[in-house]
A and B are shown apart, each in its own frame.
Chain A
Amino acid sequence: MWRVRLIPDKTDIPFLRWRNGLFAFSAALAIISVALLFAKGLNFGIDFEGGILIEVGSEGPADISDMRITLGELGLGEVSLQEFGSNTEVLIRIERQPGDADAQQAAITLLRDTLDTRYAGELTYRRTEFVGPKVGAELIQAGIIAMVLSIALMLVYIWFRFELPFAIGAIIALMHDVLLTLGMFSLFGLEFNLAIVAAILLIVGYSMNDTVVVYDRVRENLRKYKKMPLVELLNVSVNDTLSRTVMTSLTTLLALAALLIFGGEVIRDFTIAMIWGVFVGTYSSIFVASSILVHVKPGAGTNVTKSGFSGAERTEAVEQVADDVGLQKFAALPDSGDDEDEAIDAAPETASDGSRASRRASKSRAKRDKRRRKKRR
């Protein structure tokens, strides 16, 4: 069967050799992003800034310049108008009105009355959004808490499941992704609203997902190749997971591309943020997250016993057994075993007694039992 191949089966790309250059490149981008945030800032939408947003649809092409003159005369401060998606839709934004919530409502009423008189019967109101200053401030607060809390929780999780060096590496990679995304929004002046906060949180989750896959392999290889130099080991791990990283990024990008092209104007910025985030997240888990491990140096295999899922020697032994026993084994297995692991472990004694594999398996079982006994004490 003919098959697409994007990544060769066995790659040996020296990612880690470029680490200093790429590290400098990433650091520079991050610094530029911070500088942009301070110098230019973000183009906050009404969710955070407060203000009024009205989207109107007109029968034919809308006369934006005429609308701008009409609405400019109302004395509502800065009124911005832009075509939204097509020339029959116009997005009107008014800055926050001085005074309390009633003043904002009065402005909405004035605006609508004016539009209704000037363009009687030609306009439909597709969307009206108004956020008061109080709510805006709360939304900013909630957004920041959400961001900090999720990063902190992930840090704790990685620390718990891996080791501290991995957690540090993952967090630096995350910061990198968040900063670069914010920098991109600042550079292009894209509107920063609630949905974008959601997108950034998702980018954080996505990038973490990628990083964890790489780290998981690093952890496994640390146990497997005890003597291999760290840089080489990291490089092997990144190469091992490369095809998966690229595959998942591609399928995600395919879906996002569909969303960008067909998903409509309202979520366009959100989709752009996500697409950018997938690129940055993939890049950072391949280059940044692994490079950092060179500096924070995870201890080889120290977490083997701590991690709850798989003891390395044991799985290896099990596979070896499975290899030797081959297909006849699952034909021989009864359908109602107690625990499948136990069943596999027990299999060689009946199937191929005295083989090398069975010796290894029983040795590893002895080790495990010893460990269990130790734990009990």
Chain B
Amino acid sequence: MLRIRLWQVIAVVLVCAASILFALPNLFSERSLSTYYPGWLPSQRVNLGLDLQGGSHLLLEVQVDAVMVERMDALVDDARTALRGGRIGYTGLKRRGQKVVLQLTKVENLDAAEDLLSDLDREIVVAVTGSGAVEISLNETAIAERKSSALSQSIEIIRRRIDETGVSEPTIQRQGEDRILVQLPGLQDPERLKRLLGKTAKMSFHLVDQTVTDADLARGRVPPGTMRLPADDEVDSAGNPRLYPIRKRVMVSGDSLVDSQPTFQDNQAVVSFRFDSSGAKKFGRVTQENVGRPFAIVLDGKVISAPVIREAILGGSGVISGNFNAQTAKDLALLLRAGALPAPMKILEERTVGPDLGADSIEAGRIACVIGFLAVVIFMLLYYGLFGIVADIALILNLIIIFGMLSLWQATLTLPGVAGIVLTIGMAVDANVLIFERIREEVKAGRSPYSAMEAGYKRAFTTIFDSNITTLIAAVILYLFGSGPVQGFAVTLGIGIITSMFTAMLVSRYILVWWLKRYRPKTLPL
């Protein structure tokens, strides 16, 4: 234990030097780093968690089932067309949950029907559930694929929306089967962003069914192919949203939009839009054929407005007027530009920390660190004297290595992480305490300084190893099962345990051995 080879010393010195190099940038501000700091040195600082630098953490859930429902609704229409084409009689064709069910009028048509329906799509499974009863569903792979693509599409759309708002360095991560984690450092007020993310922004243009009277509309008597949709912010005399009879058929869909901008028309905020060429063609034809009729703009199942078409719009661009102010017009244009989400989204979890609290936490953490550090350093000095100084050197190195590693790995330092560092300061001396107490014991047993140190290090090693492994287990489990801030705690704690073993077993040992060889003391000043 007291024999040290040169390469070991060199390795330890290198590790320490590298740590100092990596930890150094943390002493400088962002600005002085970019202006005065030499470029060839590592200049990454510790990555502060959202709870320290302020920002928003949002966990979103994509309602992937909605995608399935939409797909099955389309399948109902396909099945109807196919069976009619094959002149096969049926009743009760409808979507039930995520399946389409129907009952054949004649059982002998079963084989023919099965063939026809199976040919609709390779992704579907047709099952006979009773005499003439048929059930159509998507196969497992198709379901998984649809859900997965809905999720990746959602991530893409969310990224575009966030980029449009100008928030810098957002983190957007997929989590599990249907969740997206969004982290927005430095965001002061997440309310607007939450509003933007919460909107599906599915836009479509529909004709208004003018055959429906107001009385029928109020009673809900609308012909098939027409739906009752509420207005976005128009209300009737009773204060309920005004209802519109809207033809179900989508004349032009928002998917064909290529651009959208907020602008002003007659001092009123409006949103301009422009279609791609096929969309422009469709839009031109529809407007040409329906001059003088109202044309409804529907967003997420609500009618934004239903202006009367005054003339054919052939250029492929137009404006949406509604009850907008500058902000809502800006938001709508942004949503239309970024595109629609494939499925609605819900916010499952939100954690937002304002910049004030973050700054306060950093300040408090810094003070606690310094005070805790000084207290432990002074205590060790008073308790172990010279050996205490060595333990203190090890402790300082310990902290430097922790910061060096955090900077190098760009691990996130959170408030509980700072607590972990303070705690590590208290616990890191443990390894040295174990060794020193052991050496002291060996001295009491009458050993010479050399042999006491040899025995102390040797015997304490197993103990240090065994006892630290247990704490390390706790840290690893915390990391695996914890989220956000707690993970940050696990990271600093885990690094702290390893570095404290490193500094106690190597650094403090080398120093003491050097001292022992250099001064050959008759007694150990423990």
* A198 B422 Cβ-Cβ under 8 A: no
Q: Give the bracket for the number of chain B residues in contact with chain A.
A: 35 or more
Q: Confirm or deny: A57 has a beta carbon within 8 angstroms of a beta carbon on chain B.
A: yes
Q: Confirm or deny: B429 has a beta carbon within 8 angstroms of a beta carbon on chain A.
A: yes
**Contacts A127-B352, A130-B350, A252-B426 hold; do A267 and B419 have CB atoms under 8 A apart?**
yes
Q: Confirm or deny: B162 has a beta carbon within 8 angstroms of a beta carbon on chain A.
A: no
For B430, give its contact among A10, A142, A248 (CB under 8 Å): A248
Q: Confirm or deny: A259 has a beta carbon within 8 angstroms of a beta carbon on chain B.
A: yes
CA distance A3 to B383 in the complex (A): 6
Task: Return chain B residues, CB-CB under 8 Å to A212.
Answer: 463, 466-467, 470
* B483 A194 Cβ-Cβ under 8 A: yes
B286 to chain A, nearest CB (A): 34
B283 to chain A, nearest CB (A): 33
CA distance A55 to B426 in the complex (A): 31
* B451 A326 Cβ-Cβ under 8 A: yes
CA distance A250 to B430 in the complex (A): 10
B11 to chain A, nearest CB (A): 16
Q: Confirm or deny: B30 has a beta carbon within 8 angstroms of a beta carbon on chain A.
A: no
**Contacts A129-B351, A310-B458, A323-B448 hold; do A149 and B525 have CB atoms under 8 A apart?**
no
Which of B141-149, B314-322, B330-338, B341-349 lies at the interface with chain A?
Answer: B341-349
Which of B103-111, B242-250, B268-276, B369-377 lies at the interface with chain A?
Answer: B369-377
* A255 B354 Cβ-Cβ under 8 A: no
A172 to chain B, nearest CB (A): 15
* B429 A258 Cβ-Cβ under 8 A: no
CA distance A205 to B467 in the complex (A): 9
* B477 A201 Cβ-Cβ under 8 A: yes
Q: Confirm or deny: A353 has a beta carbon within 8 angstroms of a beta carbon on chain B.
A: no
Task: Return chain A residues, CB-CB under 8 Å to B448.
Answer: 323, 326-327
A to B contact number (C-beta, < 8 Å): 282
Task: Return chain A residues, CB-CB under 8 Å to B3.
Answer: 330, 333, 337, 340, 343
Q: Confirm or deny: B132 has a beta carbon within 8 angstroms of a beta carbon on chain A.
A: no
By beta carbon, the residue of chain B nearest A143 is: B481
What number of A residues sit within 8 Å (CB to CB) of B?
A: 100
Q: Confirm or deny: A28 has a beta carbon within 8 angstroms of a beta carbon on chain B.
A: no
Render B183-227 as a binary contact track against A, CB cut-off 8 A, 1 for contact.
000000111001000100000000000000000000000000000
Render A180-198 as a binary contact track against B, CB cut-off 8 A, 1 for contact.
0000000000000011011
For A319, give its contact among B350, B367, B454 (CB under 8 Å): B454
* B450 A327 Cβ-Cβ under 8 A: yes
CA distance A105 to B365 in the complex (A): 32
Q: Confirm or deny: A39 has a beta carbon within 8 angstroms of a beta carbon on chain B.
A: no
Q: Confirm or deny: A208 has a beta carbon within 8 angstroms of a beta carbon on chain B.
A: yes
Task: Return chain B residues, CB-CB under 8 Å to A318.
Answer: 458
Q: Confirm or deny: A120 has a beta carbon within 8 angstroms of a beta carbon on chain B.
A: no
By beta carbon, the residue of chain B nearest A321 is: B451
B177 to chain A, nearest CB (A): 13
Task: Return chain A residues, CB-CB under 8 Å to B385.
Answer: 1, 3
* A220 B459 Cβ-Cβ under 8 A: yes
For A202, give its contact among B375, B430, B483, B493 (CB under 8 Å): B493
- For window 84-121 of B, CB contacts with A under 8 Å fall at none
Render B456-475 as a binary contact track against A, CB cut-off 8 A, 1 for contact.
00110111011111111111
Q: Confirm or deny: A24 has a beta carbon within 8 angstroms of a beta carbon on chain B.
A: no
> What DSSP secondary structure best describes chain A's contact surface?
helix
Q: Confirm or deny: B46 has a beta carbon within 8 angstroms of a beta carbon on chain A.
A: no
Task: Return chain A residues, CB-CB under 8 Å to B351.
Answer: 127-130
* A255 B376 Cβ-Cβ under 8 A: yes
B393 to chain A, nearest CB (A): 16
For B379, give its contact among A102, A194, A250, A310 (CB under 8 Å): A250
**Contacts A130-B350, A322-B455, A326-B451 hold; do A201 and B474 have CB atoms under 8 A apart?**
yes
Task: Return chain B residues, CB-CB under 8 Å to A274.
Answer: 423
A348 to chain B, nearest CB (A): 13
* B459 A310 Cβ-Cβ under 8 A: yes
* A1 B386 Cβ-Cβ under 8 A: yes
* B474 A150 Cβ-Cβ under 8 A: yes
CA distance A257 to B382 in the complex (A): 19
* A194 B348 Cβ-Cβ under 8 A: no
CA distance A335 to B373 in the complex (A): 37
Which of A72-80, A132-140, A296-304 lies at the interface with chain B?
Answer: A132-140
Task: Return chain A residues, CB-CB under 8 Å to B426.
Answer: 251-256
Q: Confirm or deny: B59 has a beta carbon within 8 angstroms of a beta carbon on chain A.
A: yes
Can you list 25 A-B contacts (CB < 8 A)? A124-B354, A128-B351, A128-B352, A132-B347, A142-B482, A146-B481, A194-B482, A194-B485, A195-B416, A201-B477, A201-B478, A202-B471, A212-B466, A216-B462, A216-B467, A243-B437, A256-B423, A258-B375, A261-B368, A261-B371, A262-B364, A263-B365, A264-B365, A274-B423, A330-B450
Top 6 A-B residue pairs of the complex, sorted by shortest distance between their CB atoms: A255-B426, A205-B474, A258-B372, A264-B364, A252-B426, A146-B481
